[in-house]
Amino acid sequence: MSITIKGTGYYLPKKIVTNDELAEIVDTNDEWIVRRVGIKERRIATCETTEYMAAEAAKNAIKSAGINANEIDLIIVSTITGEKTAPTVAASVQSIIGAECPAFDMNSACSGFIFALDTAVSYIVRGGFRNILVIGAERVSKIIDWSDRSTCVIFGDGAGAFVVGPGNGYLSSILYSRGDSSVIDIPSYHGDSPFWTDEASGKPYIIMHGQETFKFAVTRMTEDINAVLEKAGLSACDVDYIVPHQANMRIIDFASKRLGIGMEKFFINLDKVGNTSSASIPIAAAQLNESGKLKRGDIVVFSAFGAGLSSAACVIKW
Ligand code: UT7
């Protein structure tokens, strides 16, 4: 026994920011961003908090599952951008939607949603949980250095959510961590303690070595997807859809060629949504589900990578 995905939902902030608008802030242009990354526009929160976006995505997932908020037994939120350390984003969602259940946050950066989904599987297998809300929610724009053109053009804000329950749809998974801040580093606020002496504490913004991240991403996507397919006793030709972390079109293109899985099987929304960190996969999966293309029994692979360093993949029988 594992899980089945009972419902999906997502929320995107109202404000659309185009590449031309970013060219007014930093030295960049639409042609470079489209050619090197594939993003045309992204959504940036103007007043929507991470908690608000998470709760809106959750409400949509609950509606799609055909249940009520009081039937949720557990809420797990993957985030690196909660507006507060406490209450957690998950606890805030519980309050906003009117659920009565335990709620906690997890952090494995951009790979976090799959780590959270994998955790939900363990609770379901343990027994006693009928409906678990798993959410990825990020206001990445608050940890961006808006003068750094190599990062501010690639990220966006949003949230995605699943309601999962007992079933047989989680065929295999892989979780990978390699503690390493040399490729991507996101320091947190280091406080004002009069006793703190570490002058080297950085500003709380994403510092990313793009090309190193790119190589890590292509390698991990390829290895992780091959590994989860093998564990599930499947091959590339059994795959109906791959929902990849929406970081860069060229990363997906390289992975597609190395895996021997055609680009038509990859669900892409990064042109309109950008990289929303751990919200990326649940937003894309919810949009794919909403499109009506997915059929019960389809084989769907999720694959994510990011800071940590971390990566994760899983195979779902829809
Ligand atoms: O979710 C976390 C995971 N993150 C990722 O997956 C990111 C992976 N990396 C990437 O997507 C790409 O490496 C970037 C999009 C970040 C950068 O693209 P790139 O093709 O690797 O560019 P680069 O860093 O090699 O830089 C090439 C040139 C440089 O100029 P010079 O030194 O050749 O004159 C950069 O300064 O492109 C320049 N550049 C830009 N030019 C216009 C970098 N950013 C920009 C920009 N607009 N926004």
Asked if residue 91 has its Cβ within 6 Å of ligand 1, the reply is no
Question: What's the pLDDT score for residue 263?
Answer: 97
Cα separation, 184 vs 36, in Å, equals 19
Using the atom order of ligand 1, give the atom closest to the CA of residue 155. Answer: 1
CB 74 within 8 A of CB 129: yes
Query: Can you list the residues of the chain whose pLDDT is less than 70?
Result: 200-201
Ligand 1: centre distance to CA 167 (Å): 42
Cα separation, 301 vs 281, in Å, equals 10
SS3 3: strand
Cα separation, 27 vs 32, in Å, equals 11
Which residue has a Cα nearest atom 24 of ligand 1?
A: 210
Asked if residue 148 has its Cβ within 6 Å of ligand 1, the reply is no
Question: What's the pLDDT score for residue 262?
Answer: 97
Asked if residue 58 has its Cβ within 6 Å of ligand 1, the reply is no
Q: Is the dihedral of CA 146, 149, 150, 153 positive or negative?
A: positive
How would you classify the pairing of strands 74-78 and 16-18? unpaired
Question: What's the pLDDT score for residue 281?
Answer: 98
For residues 160-183, one letter each, b for 16 or more C-beta atoms within 10 angstroms of the residue's C-beta and e for the rest, the string is: bbbbbbbeebbbbbbbbeeeeeeb
Q: Secondary structure of the chain: what % helix, strand, coil (to 5)?
A: 40, 25, 35
Q: CA geometry: angle at 244 spanning 148 and 298, to 5°?
A: 165
Using the atom order of ligand 1, give the atom closest to the CA of residue 154. Answer: 15
Which residue has a Cα nearest atom 1 of ligand 1?
A: 306
Q: Considering the entire predicted model, what is its pTM?
A: 0.97
How many Cβ atoms sit within 10 Å of the Cβ of residue 34?
Answer: 14
Question: What's the pLDDT score for residue 231?
Answer: 98
Residue 110 is a catalytic residue? yes
Rg (CA), the chain: 19
Strand-pair partners of 158: 138
Chain centroid to Cα 50, Å, comes to 13
Cα separation, 227 vs 218, in Å, equals 14
Ligand 1: centre distance to CA 19 (Å): 15
CB 54 within 8 A of CB 78: no
Q: Which residues contact 31 (CB under 8 A, 6 or more apart)?
A: none
